[in-house]
Amino acid sequence: MGLETFLPTATDDSLGSQRLSFGPQIFGVLFAPFGIKGALIAPAYQHKFSVYEDDDLKDLHQGLIDVFLLWTSTDKQW
C-alpha cells in the first residue's frame, strides 16, 4: 500500500490539473510466476481524487492500473 500526493504546481494549464489530489495505491507481488526463476510480477491499482480545487474546476477521479515486471539474471558474470 502507498499514497502519492499531487501538488498544483503547473505554470501552464496544459502541464497539470491545477488540483491538490491524493492517490492511494495497492499492489500485490507474485514471486516466480509460471515457474520462472528470478521473475517477479507486481500488479497495482491507484485511484486519484482531488481534495481541493477552484469552484470552476470539476472534481478529479482517475483510476490507474500498472503492472511492474522484474527479471533478474542468474548469470553472475557482470
**In sequence order, what E strands does the chain have?**
2-6, 20-27, 30-31, 39-52, 61-71
To the question of pTM greater than 0.75 for the whole model, the response is no
Number of domains, the chain: 1
Q: What is the pLDDT of residue 28?
A: 95
Print pLDDT tens along the chain (78 aa). 999 998 888 888 788 777 889 999 999 999 988 888 888 999 999 999 988 767 777 788 899 999 999 988 777 665
Q: What is the pLDDT of residue 63?
A: 95
State which residues form the domain around 36. Answer: 2-6+22-71
Q: What is the pLDDT of residue 78?
A: 57
Comparing CA positions, the residue from 28, 24, 26, 27 lying closest to residue 3 is 24
Q: What is the pLDDT of residue 3?
A: 92
What's the CA gap between 54 and 64, in Å, rounded?
24
Q: Does residue 54 sit within a domain?
A: yes
Q: Does residue 31 sit within a domain?
A: yes
Q: Does residue 48 sit within a domain?
A: yes
